[in-house]
Amino acid sequence: MTVAEAAKLFNAGDKIRSMAESGKLQELHKRCIDQAQAVETGYIKVMDSLDRTLQQVCEAEQDIYDELLDSEIDGMNKLNTGEQGETIFNHLSFVDSTSPLENYEIVRRIAEQKGDSDIVLAEKNLKSLLATRAHIMAAKASVQESILANIPDNEVGVLEQELEEFKNTAK
């Protein structure tokens, strides 16, 4: 026991001193520590589960894009914003810098132009997957907000940044 803990115990009421003498106070502290560890473990499990689900969504999107590219449909080019010019980057892309929404817009545009049932179905599936992606990120933001509400202000830096990223992606 530290001097500070001893001082708190000395100044505590009779009930706390009684609990300390009987060992119940130490049991209470252990339960609090165990609960904190359980919350941390639960947080990690929930976030990992959401990440795995997000990965499955990404894989399902990729499967749809692969099928579309294999079908060699005309117009499978990126929307030309004028920023990228006429380079290879005008085609559907799956690098990290390419937005899933941008790829979806390409497929939506082709579905509107061609009306082919396979493309329309792909567009509907991609729209559903994008909505799922948004819900996952909103769930991650919700979990993060719950954690942030229960930790000291001096420990929130990185968690707040992640929260903003989750919210922005969900939008």
Residues written for the chain = 171
The two tokens of residue 125 are 């599936």
CB 107 within 8 A of CB 68: yes
d(CA 128, CA 143): 23
53: CB partners within 8 A, 6+ apart: 136
SS3 41: helix
| Span 108-165, pLDDT tens digits | 888 888 888 888 999 999 999 999 999 999 999 999 888 888 777 666 777 788 888 8
Taking the domains of the chain in order of start, what are their residue ranges?
51-170
Q: Given this model, what pLDDT does residue 90 score?
A: 44
More confident site: 52 or 91: 52
127: CB partners within 8 A, 6+ apart: 104, 108
More confident site: 88 or 142: 142
111-116-118 Cα angle (round to 5): 90
Q: Given this model, what pLDDT does residue 96 score?
A: 47
